[in-house]
Amino acid sequence: MYRNFHALALALALALAMVAGSAHASSGSTVLDVKGQASFQQQRVQIEKDFASGNYSELASEDRLKVNAALDRISSSVQGVDDVRQLSTQKSTEVFNDQELVNELLTQAAVDSRLVCKREAKIGSNMKTTTCLTAAERRRQKEDAASQFTENRPNRGQVELLN
């Protein structure tokens, strides 16, 4: 019985991992994978196109500066190099760390910049309208509503002593 349960759990986990992997691959976000100067330049051009098209609209300006600085450092490191394995261990590590920084920031920005549309009827009306916001905007609205609720909530269970 337990053997069947574990096999089923493993099969379900593998299926979910494959679905998540295909969803990430089709999300449209650029993943930086530096192999050499030529591949890096192509990827950098694509990242810059994605910036211009608004794919990373929720990327904070300081994070955009970090991404650009990391891309500049990678560009100078792979200048004249066909394969990243030709770099010294230290340079290779620096390129890898910058690559990971870029991927982390861009992946989070792509998730936050994803447009979520919802059809809902406004209060007092039966007519439905479509409202589209980015995932980050929806999260901010939810957090703002929660903070307003807690700020306007009367003190429950607390007794004020008057002198």
Q: How far apart are the first and last CA of the chain?
A: 69
Residue 111's Cβ-side half-sphere holds a number of Cα atoms within 13 Å equal to 8
Question: pLDDT tens across 36-47, in order?
Answer: 888 889 999 999
Given this model, what pLDDT does residue 99 score? 92
Whether the predicted pLDDT of 160 surpasses 80: no
pTM: 0.60
Of 89 and 29, the structure prediction assigns the larger pLDDT to 89
Are residues 55 and 27 in contact, defined by beta-carbon separation less than 8 angstroms?
Answer: no
Residue 72 carries which side chain, given as an amino acid letter? D
One-letter amino acid identity for 147? S
- Are 87 and 77 contacting, i.e. CB atoms less than 8 angstroms apart? yes
Which amino acid makes up residue 104?
A: E
Over range 51-62, report the average pLDDT: 86
pLDDT digits (tens, 9 = 90+) for 66-114: 999 999 999 999 988 888 888 899 999 999 999 999 999 998 888 888 8
